[in-house]
Amino acid sequence: MIDYRKHILRNPKICGGEPVIRGTRVTLRTLLASLAGGSQPKDILRDFPSLKEKDIRAVIAFAAASAEEDLPLPPIPSVR
C-alpha cells in the first residue's frame, strides 16, 4: 500500500488545517467527495492538473486507514 503520509499535509496555515495534497490547496475532502460521487481518477487529474495519480491513491489509502481506526470491531464470538 502507498504511504499516504508522503502525499498528505495538515498545516493550520493551509486551508484551515484541513488535510491537503502536499504542495497544493486541494483538500482530501474534495477528492473523496469526487470519488464518492463517481468521478474517475482521470477526471480528477484533468480537473486538478497539479495532482498525480499517486496523490489519488494516497487519498484512498488514507481513507482506508482512517476507516480501520474508526470502525468498531465485531464482538468475538464465544466458543462453547
Set out the domains of the chain in order of their start, with CATH numbers: 4-70 (1.10.10.10)
Low-confidence ranges of the chain (pLDDT < 50): none
Helix (H, G, I), strand (E, B) or coil at 29: helix
Q: What's residue 21's pLDDT?
A: 97
Q: Please, which residues bridge with residue 20 across strands?
A: 9, 27
Q: What's residue 74's pLDDT?
A: 67
* Beta carbons of 32 and 59 less than 8 angstroms apart: yes
Q: What's residue 66's pLDDT?
A: 85
Q: What's residue 18's pLDDT?
A: 95
Q: What's residue 73's pLDDT?
A: 62
Q: Give the cell for residue 55.
A: 496523490
Q: What's residue 67's pLDDT?
A: 79
Name the pTM for this structure.
0.80
**Consecutive H or E run containing 20:** strand 20-21
